[in-house]
Amino acid sequence: MEEPLCFTVPRDRDPGRLDRLLAELLPDLTRSQVKKFIDEGRVLLSGRPAKAGEKLKGGEVLVVSLPELRPAEALPEAIPLRILYEDRHLVVLDKPAGLVVHPAPGHDRGTLVNALLHHCRDLAGIGGELRPGIVHRLDKDTSGVMVATKDDVTHLHLARQFKAHSISRRYLALVHGMVPQARGTVDRPIGRHPTLRQKMSSAARSGRHA
């Protein structure tokens, strides 16, 4: 059995239904997995078994006992990829939002790595069995351009460039609320959200400059 996970339901916003908040707190799990764990009694709400549709108020304590997960294994899968460029050393692709980059325990199917293993006969092995060819990553809900390598020499060269910041990366973000200026600079440290530990926040006290 895995070590139980403990969360305090945030008070600074309407937390909504328990199952929806839990899916937000555990983004690597699907909605169906979250509901299954609740139905199996693996989720306690302030010490008692929780119900999926319960409305939360804020301040409650959630304890999630995850089952022991089998080791992840990366296998080829015929998942469509949008290839932007490809040669014998690397492949550049457009990763869609919602696609996890590499397998993890409990989620070893339907990832970008599974798709790459099907598309390419060879990938750089230096990243390990679960991250072949992966030099950098994007979060599951982030879309954008990614580079995967087909040999270890190319992988090392690109890894050094990413580390030295000689490769330029540019991001577009959706902004909520009224923005008074058309252009500007946001210069704030980023760290884990104090209550939603799966999210990042610019208000975190222990934040670092990106």
Residue 199 domain flag: yes
Residue 203 DSSP class: T
Residue 72 domain flag: no
Q: 13-31: per-residue pLDDT in tens? A: 788 898 888 888 877 677 7
- Please report, for the domain that includes residue 29, its CATH number: 3.10.290.10
| Cα–Cα distance for residue pair 149/144, rounded to 1 Å | 17
Would you mind telling me the total number of residues written for the chain in this entry? 210
Residue 119 DSSP class: H
Q: What is the mean pLDDT of residues 99-118?
A: 84
Ordered DSSP codes for 52-71: TTPBP-SS-EEEE-PPPPPP
Residue 37 domain flag: yes
Residues 93 and 157 in one domain: yes
In the prediction, which pLDDT does 151 show? 87
- Please report, for the domain that includes residue 108, its CATH number: 3.30.2350.10
Q: 54-98: per-residue pLDDT in tens? A: 999 888 999 988 776 555 577 889 999 999 999 999 999 999 999
Residues 9 and 38 in one domain: yes
The answer, as to whether pTM is greater than 0.75, is no
Residue 77 domain flag: no
| Residue 144 falls in which region: left (phi positive, over 0), alpha (psi -120 to 50) or beta | left
Number of structural domains (the chain) is 3
Work out the pLDDT band at 45, boundaries 50, 70, 90.
very high
Q: Look at residue 105 and tell me whether its pLDDT is greater than 70.
A: no
| Cα–Cα distance for residue pair 173/132, rounded to 1 Å | 28
Q: What is the percent of the chain with per-residue pLDDT over 70, rounded to a whole number?
A: 85
Q: Is 139 a catalytic residue?
A: yes
Structural domain range at position 203: 184-210
Residues 99 and 152 in one domain: yes
Residues 92 and 129 in one domain: yes
Give me the sign of the Cα torsion angle 106, 23, 32, 66: positive
Q: What is the mean pLDDT of residues 43-53?
A: 90
C-alpha closest to that of 125 among 101, 99, 156, 146: 156
Active-site hit among 39, 94, 139, 141: 139
Q: 132-169: per-residue pLDDT in tens? A: 888 998 988 899 999 999 988 888 889 889 888 898 88
Q: What phi and psi, each to the nearest 5 degrees, are found at residue 45?
A: -110, 105
Work out the pLDDT band at 106, boundaries 50, 70, 90.
low
Residues 191 and 160 in one domain: no
| Chain-centre distance for alpha carbon 163 | 21
